[in-house]
Amino acid sequence: MEHIPFQFFAWGASITFAIESLLLKYLSKHKVNNPWLLNITCLFFTILLNSSVSLYMGAGWPSAWGNILLAALFFALGMTLFNLVAYQLDVSVFIPLENFKTIFSVILGAMFLGEVLTGNQMYLIGAMVVAGIFVTFDENFSIKSFFSKGVILALVEMLAISLMALFLNKAAVDNNFWTLNLWYNVIAAGIMLFTWPLFSKDIKTLDKSHIGIIFLFALAGATANLLSAKAFTLNIGISQAIIAIPLSVIIAMASSLFFPKLFEHHTWKVYILRIASAATLIFAGIKLS
């Protein structure tokens, strides 16, 4: 493993992240009508895979619970909103918007970890906000698209995931990585059981094809996380740039030419604007992080 170049892991992570995003969009658009049912099943398999790996790697009993509980709460909230957003937004919108997590992470770091927010970082944040507005534009080319329900949910999701990362960072002082990974996943699963009334009556609508695709979604996500973690241990800058390439957006746009009902379909003017905006978000996000 030590002789394998970091590019292998980075590109593997980029590809599997794209597969994860596209499978989620396909499920939300064509397979599962109840977003809460899709959410609980996606989280179930994701948490099952993460917890299994953590136990295999020797996860134990936490030394302190407070920050783990908060991380689990925000993880459950963030992943729930991520799955719900798939019903609201195009892949070419919500995947580029995920770069806003960098903005929230930098701001939270300045607020709670004593990190300094420089003038250059403020400029980059401003550029990302402007690009984020443009990436949401559709054929109406109206700023109102940025203030849609889907975009607001996406922004709250990114804030929640950033808060999760903050509390995991604090929890890492008292616990090792695999113990953290096990328990914040297990606790998040328990939290999600409170949504039972929102999906229980629709469980019977799931069949083997649904379960198979949902499992592939979770497997792609778990694989992407492991590959990206390995890539970052070998190289940060180039790995981050490779993983940030929005392959899912490129595939969704290309598929709209031949299969317009598969993921999404817009005019070339909309896609040119979204590509330019996504590139700005990625470039500024890498510089900001």
Report the distance separating Cα 124 and Cα 137, nearest Å.
21
**95 belongs to a structural domain:** yes
Number of domains within the chain = 1
Across residues 95-100, what is the average pLDDT?
A: 89
User: With contact defined as beta carbons under 8 Å apart, do 221 and 20 qualify?
Assistant: yes
Average pLDDT across the chain, whole number: 89
**Which of 94, 81, 75, 83 has the alpha carbon at shortest distance from 42?**
83
**1 belongs to a structural domain:** no
**For residue 43, what are the domain limits?**
6-288
Report the distance separating Cα 143 and Cα 273, nearest Å.
13
**274 belongs to a structural domain:** yes
Report the distance separating Cα 232 and Cα 245, nearest Å.
15
**62 belongs to a structural domain:** yes
Q: What is the Cβ-side half-sphere exposure of residue 154, based on CA atoms within 13 angstroms? A: 25
Tens digits of residue pLDDT in 159-192: 998 888 888 888 888 888 889 889 998 999 899 9
Q: Is the Cα dihedral 201, 202, 208, 214 positive or negative?
A: negative
Whether 240 has a pLDDT exceeding 90, the answer reads no
More confident residue, 161 or 235: 161
Question: Tokens 């170049």, residue?
Answer: 5
Whether 209 has a pLDDT exceeding 90, the answer reads no
Report the distance separating Cα 286 and Cα 34, nearest Å.
36
Angle formed by the axes of helices 177-192 and 66-85, to 10°?
Answer: 60
